[in-house]
Structures are given as C-alpha cells and as structure tokens.
Chains A and B, each alone.
Chain A
Amino acid sequence: MPLHSPSLRRFVRRALVDTAGVEKPDRAQLASAFDTLCQRLRSGLQPLFGTAAVGALFMRSVHVAIGEYPWLADIVPKGQDSCTVHENARLGSLDVNTVHEGLATVLALNIGLLSAFVGEDLVLPLVQQAWGVSGSSGSEGVQ
C-alpha cells in the first residue's frame, strides 16, 4: 500500500467523521476524534508490536505529514506517548477541511507505514478491530 494512498486517506477521513459523530465536524470535534482514533489504534497495535515500535511509527508519520502540512507541527503531539491535539490559536486559524485532511494524513501515514512493513492484509484487520469498523467500511473501503 502506498503511504500516500488516496483511498486510505478517504478511509481515515470517514473514520474521523464517524468518530466525531456529526456529518460536518468542527475543528475541536475533529481534534477529539483524532485523539480517540489515535489512542484506539495504539491500544490495538501495542500488544502485538510493542509500545516503542508503535510510538516510533507514529512519530515518523507525524514527521512525514508535517512535510505536507507544516502547520501540523504546531498542533500534533511531539511525544510518542501522546495523541492529544493542541487546540490552540493555530488550529483555530485553519480551515476546517484543511484540519480534517491534515489529521487524516497523520493517521493514514501511520497505517501505511505499518502496512509497508508487515502488509496491509495484516494491518487493516487490526485497524478495523481497533476502530470498531466493519470490513465493508474498513479494508474494502481503502481499496
């Protein structure tokens, strides 16, 4: 799976909306949804891959995503143990669609990086399980 797979990003964007619980989430709702999905993903992956590996991959995905969305550097967590988005003035200044796309990119890259290592057929079921999404909206949704 390419790290920049558009279908994977669409899948994550949909997951953010579903987790926010509203069809058009605002910035704060997106930030909260990101926190939830990030935590669930870690909880799902850590028993298998270990805290250090999962944290390292998350930091790497943040690093790559910042290359595409430099403003992420001001709002996404710097430590590998945290998932909490900084709801600061920088976040408030951004267009909501941009926030949606940027946060989705971080999580999509995280999943993509892991898939590059061990295969998407192993990773996607873990993601679906962690996020509580079905096969139809999960793996098939990223094809």
Chain B
Amino acid sequence: MSESRNLNINRLPSGVPKLDDILGGGWPEYSFNLIVGEPGSGKTTLAHQFMFANATPERPALYFTVLGEPTLKMLRYQRQFAFFDIEKVNSVIQFANLTDEALSNDLGKVFEAIVAKIDEVSPKIVIVDSFRTLIPETSTTGTTTVQEFVQRLATKLTSWEATTFQLGEYPEMEIRENPVFTMADGLLTMTQRVERNSMVRQVRVLKMRGNAPQPGLHTIRISDQGVQAFPRMLKPIEEVQTAVTRELISTGVSGLDEMLGGGTLRGNGMLIAGPVGSGKSTLAVQFVAEGVKHNEPGVVVIFEETIPKYLDQAKALGFDLDEMTRRGLLEMVYVRPLDLSMDETLYAIQAAVDKVGAKRVVLDSISGLEAALAPAFKEDFLESLYRLLGALTGVGITILLTVEVTEPYNDMRFTPHPISFLTHDIVLQRYFELDGELRSFLTVIKTRARDHSRDLRAYEVTSNGIVVGKRLSELRGVITAVPQARNSRDA
C-alpha cells in the first residue's frame, strides 16, 4: 500500500495587504468564490487587486461586467488605484461585457456567452461582476434555473482550472438562505456603515474551503492604494512573548528613577497619569530621549498635537526629536483621523516599531487614542489596548503611556478607564496649592515585582525637562490639593 499523502493546495496572494492573513494564506487556486456586499463596499476593487496581482501570460484573467457598474465607469475609477497596471490590460487581462446577454433574461444565453469567451481566452482567473445582476430575483429564467446555472458555471470554470470570483450585492440574511452560496468554496462578505461621521468598513470570511481563515470581522480601508486589511488580532500574546532581559532602565528623570527603585524594568508598561499641563508629555519625551542616548530607538505616537508642534515643544525643552528622527533612532507617528479602527492604529504603531527597531514606545496620550477611534471601536478599547501592550511588551519593548486625569483633586482615580491592571508601573502627577501658587507633585502608585518609594515629591518642569525635588514632608494633606504646613497642626 502506498502511504497516504495530503493534497497541497496552492494559494494565490490576494494582492490586498494583510488580507492573506485573514484568508488563511491566500485564495486557494481553482476555488470558486463569492464576494458579497452592498454597493460601495469595495468588492470590485478587491477583485481588481487580486486580478492585477496574479494575472500573467501563464495565468490570464477574464473580467466579466454585467448590468451593474458600466465598464466605462468601472475602468475610469479603477484606474485611479496604484495597483492598476495598464500594461496588463488587453494583454494578460481581458474585460468582457455581458450586458446584452443579461438583458435577454435568459441564463442559458448568459452561460453560453461566458463559455464562448472562456474558450477563446482560456483564463485561469475569472471574475463576474456582478453576479447578482446576472441572476434576477426570479428563481427561474429561460430554461435554466439559477442553481443549474451556478452549478454548470462552477463546474465549467473548475474544469478550466480557473480561480473564480463572483461578486454580488447580497444582504447577509439572504446568504444564509440562498442555496447558491452552498456551492461556493470561499465566501467573503464586505460591509460598510456610517457611525456618526465615521465610515466603518469590514470584511468577514464566512467560508474558505482548504484554508483556516481568521474568524470575525476585520477592518478594511480603501485608499488610493486600493483595499487594505487590518486583521483583528495581532499575534496572540503568548506567541509573541520572548525571553526578555528584565534589567532596570532609566526613565530619563533621575528623581523618578530613584522613586521607582532604580528605574523601570525593560518590557514594562508605565502609565503617567496627570492633569492637563502637568508635564506628562515632557516626561514622555525625556523617556524616549534617554533611550536614544543609549542607542535604543524609540517611537512616539501622538494623537492630539501635530508632529511639527510636538517637535517644537520638545525642542524648547532641549530635546531635538527631529534630529533623532533623521538619525533613524526615532519614529514619530501622528494618528488623528477620528474614524480609525484600533487595528489600523496597532498596525501603524507596529510598522513604526519595525522600521526603527524600537526599544521604547510612547503613547501620548491614550485619551487621544480613544478619541481618534471611530465610535464603533470604542467599546473594544480596553481589550485592544491590552493586545497592543501585550504585543509590544512581550518582545521587550518598554512603553510609556500618558493619560489625562480630569477628576477632582480629592479623587484618586488615575484615568476614566480601568487600565491600571494593564500597566506595570503607575506614576501620578498632581497639582496642589501653596502660598498662592499652583505647584506640582508626583508619586509612584505601583511598580510590579519590586519595591518603590511612597513619597509625594514636588517637581518642576524646567527648560531641561522634569526635575524631581524633595519629599513634601513639611506638608500634610497634599493629595487634597490644599495642604497645610505640618507644624500648623502641631501648634
């Protein structure tokens, strides 16, 4: 007996960044796939990206347009995308218009037209856009039923060793009930919805025979590059965990290092919470500049200030972030479209980290990060932040997050989100009043796995950054923001 061998299915790249990860490796060759979604959801663009990425003289493509978007318009708009290669059109990519056949309302005629063109071109990639307009609402047209038509078409195209895509506007409810969908090897849905003023586009793989696709909804964005996908999950945290040297590293603020028990541990997440103007960003800049000083590249992700403004403010404190960027030791990321998914943000940060090989990352601030997200993604904010921190700290990157505290002074919450469990170290900055002046103090609330100072220490934001002063031992009630001299009680 011969030993059993599994059949290796070749997978074709989707041509859409990151979509292959969602599909489970790409589109299986010779598969019969349906891409469904409402008008404007990106079906045609997705199909074009696949076609332009894969069409070669050995693998010619044939694109049928039917009653939906006129070819004239479709080509006009698809030509705007960077992936559209005019050299491939009418050489390895042929377009064919089936409008006349479709208008005859006879599926038999449509099938014959498709077969005739396939016999002529011998394509290895076939796309029918749109499938729905080819098959009207009535279940039987002419002498050929819809199911028969699809069955015959699928068989024909498979016998031609063609990888096939049928695009169509189908609501999700119909997908569950329509027997046409059971015949497909792959089924991808594309959705779009407006939430407040944000456009949320997502894809979902409902079926992909021969592949193990990533479940769930994944964000996509359509730009001049075409469709770009953002798989929902970065690698699971347990997969990215590597052996990290748990050494202490400086925050860039010597007084704070002292309070933290010698600095923060590499691979930690440190939260800096404080009211507006308390110097959180200053501390963040010192943190990343300290890394650069020791040849540790960094990434600063900002959501509120623009990059030029942030650079100016840092320069005023004596930190030339622009120069660090030019040396390739720093990458600035500005994220503020206000309709981002968390996944897009994660990938933007990951790309910056990979670009410079970052060892330190600043997120300034997570309040701004939340504001930049589309409303639909705010519900998952905490979980997404957890994934982000896990993905970065798991490979030994130290993260500093800032968060604005807006609560009354006598309330010791650090953030509107219960995020303290996500971070290893927490530093709180506060204002207090003394002698008719607004002063600042900071304290270390938590350090994981090591001892730390419980002091409340005054600090000042100077032209050289934050300088931590002495313990406020002569005052009591500092956390109420209106302390009294300790000797006044003793008197």
Which residues does A use to contact B, with CB under 8 Å? 46-53, 57, 114, 117-119, 121-122, 125-126, 129
Say yes or no: is B96 at the interface (Cβ < 8 Å to chain A): yes
What is the CB-to-nearest-CB distance from B138 to chain A, in angstroms, rounded to a whole number? 23
Check A122–B75 contact: CB distance below 8 A.
yes
Q: Can you name 18 extra interface pairs (CB under 8 A) apart from A118-B79, A122-B89?
A: A47-B95, A48-B95, A49-B97, A50-B71, A50-B99, A50-B100, A51-B100, A53-B71, A53-B72, A57-B72, A114-B72, A117-B75, A118-B75, A118-B76, A119-B86, A121-B86, A122-B75, A129-B90
Interface size for B (C-beta < 8 A) is 16
Say yes or no: is B70 at the interface (Cβ < 8 Å to chain A): yes
Instruction: Tell me the complex Cα distance, A49–B72, Å.
Output: 6
Interface centre among B70, B71, B72, B86 (most CB of A within 10 A): B72
- Chain A residues near B73: list those with CB within 8 A: 117
Check A50–B65 contact: CB distance below 8 A.
yes
What is the CB-to-nearest-CB distance from B69 to chain A, in angstroms, rounded to a whole number? 11
What is the CB-to-nearest-CB distance from A16 to chain B, in angstroms, rounded to a whole number? 24
What is the CB-to-nearest-CB distance from A114 to chain B, in angstroms, rounded to a whole number? 8
Q: Mark B58-76, 1 if CB is under 8 A from A, else 0.
A: 0000000100001111011
- Chain A residues near B71: list those with CB within 8 A: 48-50, 53
Instruction: Tell me the complex Cα distance, A48–B65, Å.
Output: 8
| Cross-chain pairs A/B with CB under 8 angstroms, 7 sampled | A48-B97, A49-B70, A50-B100, A118-B75, A118-B76, A119-B86, A122-B89
Smallest CB-CB separation from B73: which chain A residue? A117
Check A122–B70 contact: CB distance below 8 A.
no
Which residues does B use to contact A, with CB under 8 Å? 65, 70-73, 75-76, 79, 86, 89-90, 95-97, 99-100
Smallest CB-CB separation from A113: which chain B residue? B72
Check A117–B76 contact: CB distance below 8 A.
yes
What is the CB-to-nearest-CB distance from B78 to chain A, in angstroms, rounded to a whole number? 9
- Chain B residues near A117: list those with CB within 8 A: 72-73, 75-76
Instruction: Tell me the complex Cα distance, A117–B90, Å.
Output: 17
Assuming the contacts A50-B65, A53-B71, A117-B76, asked whether A122 and B86 have C-beta atoms less than 8 A apart, the reply is: yes
Smallest CB-CB separation from B98: which chain A residue? A50
Smallest CB-CB separation from B102: which chain A residue? A50
What is the CB-to-nearest-CB distance from B129 to chain A, in angstroms, rounded to a whole number? 13
Q: Tell me which of B79, B90, B95 contacts A119 (CB under 8 A).
A: B79
Q: Tell me which of A49, A51, A126 contacts B90 (CB under 8 A).
A: A126
Instruction: Tell me the complex Cα distance, A48–B72, Å.
Output: 9
Instruction: Tell me the complex Cα distance, A52–B100, Å.
Output: 8
- 4 closest residue pairs by CB, A with B: A50-B97, A50-B99, A118-B75, A49-B71
What is the CB-to-nearest-CB distance from B192 to chain A, in angstroms, rounded to a whole number? 26
Check B86–A47 contact: CB distance below 8 A.
no
- Chain B residues near A122: list those with CB within 8 A: 75, 79, 86, 89-90
- Chain B residues near A126: list those with CB within 8 A: 90
- Chain A residues near B96: list those with CB within 8 A: 47-48
Check A47–B97 contact: CB distance below 8 A.
yes
Instruction: Tell me the complex Cα distance, A52–B70, Å.
Output: 9
What is the CB-to-nearest-CB distance from A103 to chain B, in angstroms, rounded to a whole number? 24
Instruction: Tell me the complex Cα distance, A119–B99, Å.
Output: 22
- Chain B residues near A57: list those with CB within 8 A: 72
Smallest CB-CB separation from A48: which chain B residue? B95
- Chain B residues near A51: list those with CB within 8 A: 97, 99-100
What is the CB-to-nearest-CB distance from A91 to chain B, in angstroms, rounded to a whole number? 32
What is the CB-to-nearest-CB distance from A56 to chain B, in angstroms, rounded to a whole number? 9
Check A50–B70 contact: CB distance below 8 A.
yes
Instruction: Tell me the complex Cα distance, A47–B116, Å.
Output: 12
Smallest CB-CB separation from B75: which chain A residue? A118
Check B90–A118 contact: CB distance below 8 A.
no
Instruction: Tell me the complex Cα distance, A53–B79, Å.
Output: 18
Instruction: Tell me the complex Cα distance, A52–B72, Å.
Output: 11
- Chain B residues near A49: list those with CB within 8 A: 70-72, 97
What is the CB-to-nearest-CB distance from A47 to chain B, in angstroms, rounded to a whole number? 6
Instruction: Tell me the complex Cα distance, A132–B75, Å.
Output: 24
